[in-house]
Structure 1
């Protein structure tokens, strides 16, 4: 109890201190003085694209002293207030020629219109530096986490990156959740990812290839309706500077880890060639235990089993994304890319089962060794076409993606009683998965008037998955309950439209999405469950209202209807057989769940502080939930009865516990979240987030017990939990950067037990060398080796306590060398939205 209390008291103290400090920094404006507004839009003259972060400086015409200034937003717009007078106005963007308006008399509001900046050829041949962006940016409809500024993730993977993103948490098995909800949709460069094993896929993308992560908790109609919790868009790095430039990264670590990658691009006036290619060799060690107490039908203790598990995994593979962007005309762009991943590895699970009788007297030890070899390939071709009809946002985007993925793994499982008389038993498993997918999307954006914007589009997603899973026992017979052949087909079609406009200080965005879904599930080994076709079509409305209290603060209210389709491990009945008394398998009978999401937000910016808070409510029908129950099978094992000193083996039976997802009745969740970014000094940055929620679930599950009797499990549950994250980045003497990040995940009740709290601390150091052309970084993941999933489960027939650590503490050292660019090189404008960058949808117009 002390640990959570310390976190709460610390956060309360920090928040109170920062709030007081921030008020001191508020600008003092004399209300008696009349003020006029200067506004305009800054674009790149050649491509007609808006320039974000362009600088606007206003100086007194008779005195070079700066009076006011600001930067442009994502649409290139700026608006600055000054007192009436005569001023010089200067608009700048690094590597572009500045535009200056001299001796402008300002006695009323003035709109400078569209200002086109031209690239400065002389500057383009030099190395230029821009101001470093904050690690976390807070926008009206999303949070943007800039990976490049985070030393903690150097030499890591996407999973390591997501662990440091506000509102996001990653459990020890790599499963991602948003605001405590695992029904989150993962996008890569704005495209939905349908990886066969999402947790494993995220561990295969190096952190160095990622530019930023966008957290969209309440998506508009422009986005897929899928993902009850929201969307995480992982944006990969893309070079945009003229000429040849890029970066090379090598890394090593303990346990044994090696990696090398290159992010390169060569750009001319018409063509931009880019590639991101890397090789990764990674080992990780984990451990776990499950102590179980088994009961008789009269609730008396039957026996005990203590299960200890040690794992060692080796992953190695190469991944690449290579393509070319063609500027067909100043306002027309066509990008084509090919992505390929080849990943291979092995893992060893060594499990010991210590058995005890009802009096907890040791009876035997059984060892189960699971050796796994696996390989996977993924090939994807993506094409993106953008046509900008003008410089006001009128555009057409067309995307097509074709992908093929194949994963194959096999294992040999050796099972034996240590010191027993029977020979070891051998089981063989084989899993072969193939997936073909095609996506096509068209998006059209039309500005209406000064502040309105109309959007419409279509998306089709067509997916075929074949999975062949078999288990052969030592007597060469196939286990029909655990083996299966799955055919899975998805056919999704969607249409959407939305309209946004602004009236005075109010912004509105209303949308409607229609999705038609057809899912075919065929279990070839179970004829009575074959050809399970599910058809459903639904409307998904969304609405966003924002009120600008001032230039520094705003409030917003939003609603959207979301859908969560069961995928991957939820549906696949392939059984995890590393333990034969605690099994996990998917459920092909799962149906989608539907969520109504409401969010009330407040955003406030001070000179050194940005504060964003949300109060949210989610109402989900047909919610997914993992449950555990005896599946009716038993495992027989030999036990040496040595009470009389004579070797007299006997056989005991242990019930098999199955873990699987089911559809429950409903879940209601209400929560509070805030994100606080504070820069007390130029050399010190603090980022923090806090999420507190209460969820109430109602439902039941029916199953057949070991005696053939139908049982009903009441799964009503009310859970209260919270998690928090605090990150500090400080520049030490000799320009050494030091970063420390701490996270705490509070305890949470489940329908069948309780998950206990846990914490993790990561630390990193970074130093720029070779005249800032290179960076050396060292980081420690899980500094105190504390990241463990701890849970208690209580069933009618068994009670258990479990601990599991997917990955022990790791040390990483990385070296980055930049070719013709510096660490903080300028950010060039994007060529458009579409799926490439997650689109412009959801942002308020004006």
Structure 2
């Protein structure tokens, strides 16, 4: 005990000495703050440079850059300085002989655009592809050659901390409970995974990844928020880009971004057309087991897919500067896609004396039509940062999916069956939002707001048989009409302040959820009404000019939607069925995050340790549903096995195959712990490196019981499981001679276990080259997506009645060649995000000061 007391005393003395020394050093320095804006529009300039040069000692130079609010803070030694404020394509401003003897503010300074520089400057400082910030990561799409000619889904699959699986499902830090926003608003798409595959990568400006959002954001998304920001020109005059793409497999695309801006308005538009065809495949090898564990039968399923799409995406909008303080923005977006997705499935059945091959051909056609109107009013008051915004959006969406399925046993034409499916979905979504920001003093800020999100989705899913006379006979087992209505009203408030090097942001959000899940086919009407409070707290301490540490907490919610609750939404295979669960409850997550950021010259390093505790977590399971598919094989039929050998069926047979169901359920709890780090490193001017590593461990706890449909038997299962996994991504960009850029990235997703099996590790890589031509007005880029053709989802499933191995590849290797032409706009123009189209893009609620 005495030794312990001595150690504690020594530690306290050391701490006191260090604190005194630090305070003594800090007293010798002062902090100079201020704000830089664009003189004409009064909007903040991000990344403007501030340089303070001592008049008596020119070697004594201090500097910094402005943040996304145009604010800067520089620590200097007292003295007389010349202060210079600069930004690319703007006239620099210098304050000479400023006597700075105590901590003070230089106020707000406006910079004026320099028309001469706009015309003469060719090479500009470009933003790195990935900008690492303490509270989020920003991925600048325009600088990334890898995704040229690709889709928004390809873009997300290249963002640090983000992964996209073979089905197009997006996960953040390995957690797929992610809220995806487009221009700060929830996507109006019915199926977000499909929508991301129809949006051209060339229409995206940047992607913001917010792992632990504050109360200002929707509470939806237990894993965090991903905000996709579409391109919108901001330079004066007429400017834009035209991007043409050709690819193999077939990928023809044309995207045009046009913009015209003057002092009174900013007119922006994006027009995109694509015509593509991609190929995918999957295999599932299933052993069906007897009660004693012996193999009853084996089915090896092989699927070839072909997806062709023709789509048009059009956006036009207008920022109208009604006066210096009031802006009114209107935008229209129209998206139309037609496509065909034929699937050819072969099922190789192996059973004693009954080996046969079934062929199931699904001739599928899709059609979608989406229209959205959005507006924004922004009122700025006299004090910097004091503003009121009002937003609204109204959308109508239609998704139509029709298919005819032909199913027969090879060698037995009499076994042919024809089925028809229809999945008709219509959605209406209205959103209203208002936000108020009030700066208090120099370093504090108050925010409050309201949001109403009203969504109605009608899904009409039909399955039926077609008899020999062409008559349609409904299959009531797989036919359903679902009417989903969701009304969410939210209020929030938060207050933030900065005290010297310490900042805090405290918030509270309230959301009232009123949800109707009506199964019209069975007259089953269900209302879920719940309301929740979502507190958030963010604490930040600046250890030095280069390093910062933070501690964050927020409460999140994940509501089951669309395919999660729709009883039937897929019938491509009649022995492996996906089925939603209308009885799913929302899951609630408590999210904690400790972050650290440091800059050492050419290196920017961030790391974080996070812990999420989720109640009623969603989990997909596979189980038999008690039904069987019966296949009748006639006497004497000659059929082929997988090796091409002829086998004759003697006496005929009725062969039954159990139906395996995939469905989501609620489990009691999931605890997820992990850490990640990101590195941006520029060893040379011609070489840039970015690395991301994420390790996580999840522990699920819960039991589940279900009733078999054929005999009413109840089956109980325990899903307690602890799993660990990790993934890493490395990206390299090298500038070669003759203005050729070379970019490579590689991703590895490690194996992961679950309560019913595991997923295997997958390594994939992308490669790209680009060259500037026509005096840097144009660029040619060649990229190869999935160089080794290895991007797959590989899983093993182990149940009491089934052992299965599965591989799924959504798209095979893709090669694209693109041509980009810029007019009145240089390659590396710094497009300032002066006025977000929705306040959820705005960092106005970040720490003041």
Bin of the TM-score, shorter chain as denominator length: over 0.9
Tell me if the contact between 2:591 and 2:611 (Cα under 8 Å) persists in the aligned partners: yes
Tell me if the contact between 1:790 and 1:802 (Cα under 8 Å) persists in the aligned partners: yes
Superposed displacement of residue 561, structure 1: 0.5
1:694 aligns to 2:690 (yes or no): no
**Among 500, 510, 519, the residue aligned to 1:523:** 519
Superposed displacement of residue 573, structure 1: 2.1
- Residues in 2 aligned to 1:575 and 1:271: alpha-carbon distance in whole angstroms: 46
**Among 680, 692, 695, the residue aligned to 2:683:** 680
**Among 532, 537, 547, the residue aligned to 1:553:** 547
Superposed displacement of residue 242, structure 1: 1.1
Residue 17 of structure 1 corresponds to none
Residue 228 of structure 2 corresponds to 234
SS of 1:754's equivalent? strand
Residue 706 of structure 2 corresponds to 703
- Residues in 2 aligned to 1:507 and 1:67: alpha-carbon distance in whole angstroms: 27
Q: Provide, for residues 696-725 of structure 1, a one-character-per-residue CA deviation record: whole Å limited to 9, x for no partner.
A: 111122222354311112111111111110
Residue 6 of structure 2 corresponds to none
Q: Provide, for residues 577-624 of structure 1, a one-character-per-residue CA deviation record: whole Å limited to 9, x for no partner.
A: 111100002112111110000001111111111111111000000111
- Residues in 2 aligned to 1:112 and 1:750: alpha-carbon distance in whole angstroms: 58
**Among 809, 818, 821, the residue aligned to 1:817:** 821
Where do residues 155-304 of structure 1 align in structure 2 (5 Å cutoff)? Answer: 155-304=149-298
Distance 1:526 1:672, change over 3 A: same
Residue 632 of structure 2 corresponds to 638
Tell me if the contact between 2:126 and 2:830 (Cα under 8 Å) persists in the aligned partners: no
Tell me if the contact between 1:263 and 1:277 (Cα under 8 Å) persists in the aligned partners: yes
Superposed displacement of residue 87, structure 1: 3.2
Tell me if the contact between 2:277 and 2:306 (Cα under 8 Å) persists in the aligned partners: yes
- Residues in 2 aligned to 1:104 and 1:468: alpha-carbon distance in whole angstroms: 71
Superposed displacement of residue 65, structure 1: 6.5
Tell me if the contact between 2:447 and 2:845 (Cα under 8 Å) persists in the aligned partners: no
Residue 323 of structure 2 corresponds to 329
Q: Provide, for residues 442-474 of structure 1, a one-character-per-residue CA deviation record: whole Å limited to 9, x for no partner.
A: 000000111110000000011111111101113
Superposed displacement of residue 546, structure 1: 0.6
Superposed displacement of residue 105, structure 1: 4.0
Distance 1:656 1:394, change over 3 A: same
1:722 aligns to 2:726 (yes or no): yes
Q: Provide, for residues 794-835 of structure 1, a one-character-per-residue CA deviation record: whole Å limited to 9, x for no partner.
A: 11211111111110101000000001111101223512x572
**Among 379, 382, 392, the residue aligned to 1:390:** 382
More displaced stretch, 696-705 vs 75-84: 75-84
Residue 39 of structure 1 corresponds to 33
Superposed displacement of residue 392, structure 1: 1.7
- Residues in 2 aligned to 1:302 and 1:641: alpha-carbon distance in whole angstroms: 22
Tell me if the contact between 1:384 and 1:400 (Cα under 8 Å) persists in the aligned partners: yes
More displaced stretch, 766-775 vs 46-55: 46-55
Where do residues 595-634 of structure 1 align in structure 2 (5 Å cutoff)? Answer: 595-634=589-628
SS of 1:648's equivalent? coil
Q: TM-score, normalising length from structure 2? A: 0.93
Residue 8 of structure 2 corresponds to none
- Residues in 2 aligned to 1:32 and 1:189: alpha-carbon distance in whole angstroms: 42
Residue 13 of structure 2 corresponds to none
Tell me if the contact between 1:251 and 1:812 (Cα under 8 Å) persists in the aligned partners: yes
- Residues in 2 aligned to 1:419 and 1:637: alpha-carbon distance in whole angstroms: 13
Residue 421 of structure 2 corresponds to 429
**Among 399, 409, 414, the residue aligned to 1:417:** 409
- Residues in 2 aligned to 1:64 and 1:239: alpha-carbon distance in whole angstroms: 40
SS of 1:784's equivalent? coil
**Among 798, 811, 814, the residue aligned to 1:794:** 798
1:378 aligns to 2:370 (yes or no): yes
Residue 434 of structure 2 corresponds to 442
Tell me if the contact between 2:69 and 2:844 (Cα under 8 Å) persists in the aligned partners: no
SS of 1:233's equivalent? strand
Residue 46 of structure 2 corresponds to 52
- Residues in 2 aligned to 1:231 and 1:75: alpha-carbon distance in whole angstroms: 21
1:465 aligns to 2:457 (yes or no): yes
- Residues in 2 aligned to 1:640 and 1:215: alpha-carbon distance in whole angstroms: 59
1:316 aligns to 2:320 (yes or no): no
Distance 1:559 1:636, change over 3 A: same
SS of 1:78's equivalent? strand
SS of 1:569's equivalent? helix
More displaced stretch, 326-335 vs 437-446: 326-335
- Residues in 2 aligned to 1:533 and 1:36: alpha-carbon distance in whole angstroms: 60
Superposed displacement of residue 84, structure 1: 4.5
Tell me if the contact between 1:436 and 1:463 (Cα under 8 Å) persists in the aligned partners: yes
Tell me if the contact between 1:283 and 1:312 (Cα under 8 Å) persists in the aligned partners: yes
Superposed displacement of residue 126, structure 1: 4.9
**Among 139, 148, 151, the residue aligned to 2:145:** 151
Where do residues 394-405 of structure 1 align in structure 2 (5 Å cutoff)? Answer: 394-405=386-397
SS of 1:201's equivalent? helix
Superposed displacement of residue 120, structure 1: 3.3
SS of 1:94's equivalent? coil
Where do residues 742-781 of structure 1 align in structure 2 (5 Å cutoff)? Answer: 742-781=746-785
Residue 455 of structure 1 corresponds to 447
- Residues in 2 aligned to 1:152 and 1:66: alpha-carbon distance in whole angstroms: 43
**Among 502, 507, 510, the residue aligned to 1:514:** 510
Superposed displacement of residue 631, structure 1: 0.9
Q: TM-score, normalising length from structure 1? A: 0.93
Distance 1:480 1:638, change over 3 A: same
Tell me if the contact between 1:124 and 1:242 (Cα under 8 Å) persists in the aligned partners: no
Distance 1:372 1:578, change over 3 A: same
**Among 479, 483, 499, the residue aligned to 2:479:** 483
- Residues in 2 aligned to 1:203 and 1:842: alpha-carbon distance in whole angstroms: 32
Structure 2 unaligned spans of 5+:
1-23, 637-645
Tell me if the contact between 1:191 and 1:836 (Cα under 8 Å) persists in the aligned partners: no
- Residues in 1 aligned to 2:387 and 2:233: alpha-carbon distance in whole angstroms: 23
Distance 1:432 1:355, change over 3 A: same
Superposed displacement of residue 66, structure 1: 7.9
Q: Provide, for residues 52-106 of structure 1, a one-character-per-residue CA deviation record: whole Å limited to 9, x for no partner.
A: 1112233354787683332211121223334444432211223333211123344
Q: Provide, for residues 417-458 of structure 1, a one-character-per-residue CA deviation record: whole Å limited to 9, x for no partner.
A: 000252411000011100001000000000011111000000
SS of 1:659's equivalent? strand
